[in-house]
Structure 1
Amino acid sequence: MIKVIKIQVFVFICFLILSGCNIANHGSFTSKTYDGAAQSEELVELGAVIGESCQTQFLYLLPIDEGVSTLMAIEQAKQKIAGTVLLADMIIDDTLAIEFGYSEQCIIAHATAMGIANR
């Protein structure tokens, strides 16, 4: 009976290891939500932008890329449209895709780019 329990515990632990227990706490922050200098100019909506930071793990354990980062996703979104001063209406999402032999974790920042109006 004890041998069966040990085997069940071993199988359960192996399952946890291979299931890709991969958690990134991206937090609930943004690099800048208010820019006092930009308030002296009239801002206009430049368009919707998306930034993404991903990491792939081979065999669910071995990281291939650099770690996921909310700040990198936000910076990538800010660089999508030239002249972006700040991002508004931001939504930060994270995904974990588990495939055969690897997993991919991403943090995705959706926002509206705001910039200074051309005169």
Structure 2
Amino acid sequence: MKKISFLFLLAAAFILNGCGSGDQAEDDGQTPSEDQQTEENDGSNATEGTVDTAAAEEAYKKSCQSCHGADLSGNVGPDLTEVGSKYSQEEILEIIEKGKGGMPPGQATGEDAELIATWLAEKK
């Protein structure tokens, strides 16, 4: 009788283990859903079409504000309040990297330049 009870419990444990607890998503071989990916993302990286505004503003203050003003209205450099209606993100990035007119190249580089360009492209 003890053997039968033990075997029954063992079989039940295997069956229940195979069923799972119900808390996990069914593994259908697909990647996590967008909602699951969002929950896992700590928000430190901007996704395509969005920009980390705080990081972009900080990079702007460091690299651009002295010429273009704290409010983007211009100082020594031109007004940038509506620069996104004149230039695309790619064009703005090129200006930042290569310079234009009186603006020297490389005032911001790498990720900072990309953040600033994406942020400014939204200014329309």
> Under a length normalisation based on structure 1, what TM-score does the superposition of the two structures give?
0.30
| Structure of greater relative contact order (alpha carbons < 8 Å, 6+ residues apart) | 1
More helix by share: 2
The structure number with the bigger radius of gyration is: 2
More strand by share: 1
